[in-house]
Structure 1
Amino acid sequence: MAPQKTSTKRESPASNSPCRRPDTKDTKITINSVTFPLPSSAPEQPLLKPGDWSYCDYFWADRRDPQGGACLPGFEVLLQKQLKGKQMQKEMAEFMRERIKIEEEYAKNLSKLSQIPLAAQEEGTLGDSWAQLKKSLADEADVHMKFSAMLHSEVEKPLLTFREHFKKDMKKYDHHIADLRKQLAGRYSGVEKARRALADRQKDLEVKTQQLEIRLSNKTEEDIKKARRKSTQAGDELMRCVDLYNQAQSKWFEEMVTTSLELERLEVERVEMIRQHLRQYTTLRHETDMFNQSTVEPVVQLLQTVDPAKDRELWVKEHKTGEVRPVDMDI
């Protein structure tokens, strides 16, 4: 992947890594089998995705695990972020489940209260208002029961079922990148072994050459040629091992970029999904308030029509015992 040029600087891992293993070259350093340029000997590297704070630009170096003390690969930090996000999502779903339980219990209690026959014998316009108030409790209970059902289907359930195969996918990514990193470490070990072998061959050639020059040995020029040939072969082997190492590192680099961008996409998808369903929660809550308000409106309207004079008229008409008033008795 060809990086785009930008003035944004990338911090060199060589300057602050606790897992540093210096290379023999003075322009580069190898840290846990990964080769980085030294900041003092290389031009600044442009970011792959400048301005995005992308995963693929900031997790190349390893860092020491504060709990275990071991070096933690940058990719492992990304995986832990994903796993934490999944756990937070699960806990949000559990929170919604508790909210649903509260709504269901509240609805049941409202329905039960609406059926209690207290003050059922109140008459007239006030009695009508009181009856409507009790009915509004039953209507409100129905609203809250529907709200709890919609919370389950439109918020809780999606939070629980989103990324059902998440752990399996994360394990696949983890094993893939870990295998490439293991291959890279093996290639680096091969380079170190080949470098030591070359040093031994060069030292042997130098010793034999010196012995021949000062005639301290019966070694012939044929022995020198043989030593020189072995030294050349060792050099060729080192070049081959370095080439294999660079190929392995290039493959690891490409897969790190691809996979970290995929994790980045999944995290954006998770956040957007949660935001969408939390907004749905607020919408449902607002609608519930509106429906609750609608159950109270008839009560409000009837209370405005409560008229003590009218109630007295109705009661008198129903319960009167006679309209003729007493008069004085005649003698």
Structure 2
Amino acid sequence: MVMAYFVESFWGERNNGFDVLYHNMKHGHVSTKELADFIRERATIEEAYSRSMTKLAKSASNYSQLGTFAPVWDVFKSSSEKLASCHLELVRKLQELIKEVQKYGDEQLKAHKKTKEEVSGTLEAMQNIQNITQALQKAKENYNSKCVEQERLKKEGATQREIDKAAVKSKKATDTYKLYVEKYAAAKSDFEQKMTETAQVNLFSICKANTIICTVSALLTYNFPRSLEKENTVSKLNKSVPNLHSWL
């Protein structure tokens, strides 16, 4: 069974991968519903086609079965009936597939609710470290700016009052920078700890998703018209050729 884990996918620029993966899972049930609706519509169309083909096959009995084209009527009636049967069988398979997709969607919702509870702390830690990282960068830029300003005033021979004023600003910027360095270290430690705990959280088994994909693939390659042609139309019409020639 193939499983997907956050540990394999959460990495990303500024640790955004975890958030993206989580929200993709959150909205996964939407795409599941869309798929189920599409398959349901396809089944409705196939069923309507099957009924129309059955009606057409029955109408063949209303025409004259005598004369040159008697074998042709027989072929059309038989092939239409079998084609209707094949499409009806496809409807049955599509309806089964809809049930599987809906079941998958229900399990997906349950998995999301469970995962939401398990990773809520990690999401909070991730948002915290992102915010602190931004604040740390601003504090660093401000610190560098104030230090450069203080040195510039000293080199240019500014008054002591101006230098002292710049020194106060520089010290304040230094303290703020140190504070955010400490906050970042604590946030980073908390984030890594929570991420380690969350890393093994199972997002959702994609085994059923693979099964659904394989089923759809099999249905799309269900080439029943060709098999009908080989089995019925060609062989029966070939057999009728001598009879047709006898009337010429």
Give the whole-Å Cα distance in 2 for the aligned partners of 1:307 and 1:108: 32
Q: Find 1:141's aligned residue among 62, 80, 84.
A: 84
Aligned to 1:61: 15
- Name the CA shift for 1:132/1:253 in 2 (closer, same or farther; >3 Å): closer
Instruction: Quote how far apart the aligned CAs of 1:89 are.
Output: 2.8
Aligned to 1:178: 120
- Name the CA shift for 1:242/1:120 in 2 (closer, same or farther; >3 Å): closer
- Name the CA shift for 1:145/1:305 in 2 (closer, same or farther; >3 Å): farther
Indicate the structure whose relative CO is greater, using CA pairs within 8 Å and at least 6 residues apart. 2
Aligned to 1:294: 231
Give the whole-Å Cα distance in 2 for the aligned partners of 1:92 and 1:163: 10
Q: Any idea what SS the aligned residue of 1:57 has?
A: coil
Aligned to 1:79: 22
Instruction: Quote how far apart the aligned CAs of 1:79 are.
Output: 2.0
Aligned to 1:275: 213
Taking the TM superposition and a 5 Å limit, the aligned residue runs for 1:31-42 are none
Aligned to 1:88: 31
TM-score normalized by structure 2? Answer: 0.60
Instruction: Quote how far apart the aligned CAs of 1:297 are.
Output: 3.3
Q: Deviations over 1:263-316 (max 9, x none)?
A: 2x64x5465334312222224x2245424543423443344234253x48xxxx
| Count, aligned residues | 189
Q: Is the 8 A contact 1:56 1:256 kept in 2?
A: no
Aligned to 1:158: 100
- Provide structure 1 residue ranges, at least 5 long, that are not aligned to the other structure: 1-52, 63-73, 190-240, 313-331
Give the whole-Å Cα distance in 2 for the aligned partners of 1:83 and 1:292: 47
Paired-residue identity, %: 18
Give the whole-Å Cα distance in 2 for the aligned partners of 1:270 and 1:255: 26
Q: Deviations over 1:88-115 (max 9, x none)?
A: 2332222221121111111111111111
- Name the CA shift for 1:166/1:119 in 2 (closer, same or farther; >3 Å): closer
Give the whole-Å Cα distance in 1 for the aligned partners of 2:29 and 2:209: 10
TM-score normalized by structure 1? Answer: 0.47
Q: Find 2:59's aligned residue among 116, 131, 136.
A: 116
Q: Is the 8 A contact 1:140 1:292 kept in 2?
A: no
- Name the CA shift for 1:257/1:149 in 2 (closer, same or farther; >3 Å): same
- Name the CA shift for 1:79/1:118 in 2 (closer, same or farther; >3 Å): same
Q: Which protein is bigger by CA-based radius of gyration?
A: 1
Give the whole-Å Cα distance in 2 for the aligned partners of 1:306 and 1:59: 77
Aligned-partner residue type, residue 86 of structure 2: V
- Provide structure 2 residue ranges, at least 5 long, that are not aligned to the other structure: 1-6, 133-182
Aligned-partner residue type, residue 275 of structure 1: I
Q: Is the 8 A contact 1:97 1:152 kept in 2?
A: yes
Instruction: Quote how far apart the aligned CAs of 1:145 are.
Output: 0.9
Give the whole-Å Cα distance in 1 for the aligned partners of 2:13 and 2:112: 17
Q: Deviations over 1:218-276 (max 9, x none)?
A: xxxxxxxxxxxxxxxxxxxxxxx9998777444312133223xx32x64x546533431
Root-mean-square deviation (CA), in Å?
3.6
Give the whole-Å Cα distance in 2 for the aligned partners of 1:77 and 1:100: 34
Aligned-partner residue type, residue 286 of structure 1: N
Q: Any idea what SS the aligned residue of 1:56 has?
A: coil
Give the whole-Å Cα distance in 1 for the aligned partners of 2:123 and 2:72: 76
**Structure holding more helix per residue:** 2
